[in-house]
Structure 1
Amino acid sequence: MYGDLLHILSNGLYPSVLHRAVVNRTKHRLSIAYLYGPPSSVQISPIQKLVGPNHPPLYRPITWNEYLVAKAKHFNKALSSVRICAPLNGLVDVNDHNSVKVG
């Protein structure tokens, strides 16, 4: 979820990736949940310095609470559910498994 937060704030410059872990049967693994985030009413949207005529905002403003609800409902498609336009630079949303890379 926090990778998605950075993804939206950076207007897709820093893409979020799906977390995956592989079981290692020879070594113990310790996982720690990080459950700190912004206040639920904070508005999340691309940082204005990263938005312009050649780089329109890819994601609509959404509160953190609204995004958590979208993540619970759509899981891997949560970013796509708040996206308002496709990137103009030929890149794809790594969270949109239906997109095809151009170029």
Structure 2
Amino acid sequence: MAPVRQTVDNIELGQPKSYSFLYFFELVATVSPMRAHYQDPAQIRRRRVEAGLTQKELARRARTTKSHISMVERGISGASAPMLARLASAFGCEVSDLMPSSSEAASS
């Protein structure tokens, strides 16, 4: 993962000079060549929508924040093993159901 300082130096001129922690977090996460998580973000979002849950309601059931659910669904942040277990419990499925299929995993 690129150091934050190096990433900030590459921002186009005209960007605001004060950056929030979330801005840095999202910026570094999107430019990082490494994937820090193994769950399938699209699968998590699909299951949430199929269950008729909002991000806020899923966050409450999984004992996390709406922001974290949003970042996991967008692939910006990964979910820890305990978080994946809580998500699976909220969806009524197995943790393995939240992972990419074996064909998707082989192609990445």
> Could you say which TM-score interval applies, normalised by the shorter chain?
under 0.3
Q: TM-score scaled to structure 2, two decimals? A: 0.27
